[in-house]
Amino acid sequence: MTEELIILRAPTVADGADLWRIAKGTGVLDTNTPYAYLLWARDFAATSVIAEVEAEPAGFISGYLKPSDPETLFIWQVAVDANFRGRGLAKKMLFELVERAGAARLETTITEDNAASIALFTALARKHGTEIARRPLFSADLFPSAEESGEAHAAEDLYVVEPLARQSA
C-alpha cells in the first residue's frame, strides 16, 4: 500500500483563499475575512502552516510571535477539513510549526466545549514533557451580543504550554 503524500509548509498568498475555505468549512471557527487570510499568509507565514494531502489543501494553523514577548508563539486558528480528521494531521502541523518557530512557550485560547482542541494541545505538552496550564482569558461578555453578531460567542480560556523543548526529537 502506498502512503499518502503529506506536505507541510509555510503558506503563501496563493493559499489565502484556501485558508479561508478551510476555516469556513469547519462550521465552528470564527471565519475571518478572505483579506485577513491573505494578509496572514503574507505577513505571518513563518509562524503558520498549511497541510496538503495528495496536493489537496487539508488543514492549516495560523500563529504569530507576540510583539510584546517574541518568545511566545500564539496559535490563533487550527483547522482540519472534515475529510482529513482523526488521523493525526493537526498534531503533525502543530509539532512541525512549534519546531520551526523555535519559541520558548505557546499560548492559545480554547472554548471549554472543544475536546479535540484541548486534546491537541495536551498532546503537544506531552511530547515536550511539559505542563499545560489553563486560566480564563476572554469572558463571553467581552464579545458582541448574539443580537448584534447573530451568534453568541463562548468564553475563551487561555492555555499555556511551557517550557517548549527546542529542536525536540
Ligand X SMILES: CC(C)(COP(=O)(O)OP(=O)(O)OC[C@H]1O[C@@H](n2cnc3c(N)ncnc32)[C@H](O)[C@@H]1OP(=O)(O)O)[C@@H](O)C(=O)NCCC(=O)NCCS
Cβ at position 110, least distance to ligand X in Å: 6
Q: Which residues between 95 and 114 bind ligand X (CB under 6 A)?
A: 114
| Backbone CA torsion sign across 29, 137, 38, 61 | negative
19 contacts ligand X (rule: CB under 6 A): no
Instruction: Tell me whether strands 49-53 and 156-162 are parallel, antiparallel or unpaired.
Output: unpaired
88 contacts ligand X (rule: CB under 6 A): yes
116 contacts ligand X (rule: CB under 6 A): yes
Contacting ligand X (CB under 6 A), which of 42, 66, 87, 166? 87
Cβ at position 22, least distance to ligand X in Å: 8
Sheet of 156-162, strand order: 6-9, 49-53, 56-66, 69-80, 105-110, 156-162, 131-138
- Judge contact between 62 and 50, C-beta under 8 A: no
Give contact residues for ligand X (rule: CB under 6 A): 26, 28-29, 77-80, 85-91, 114-117, 119-120, 123
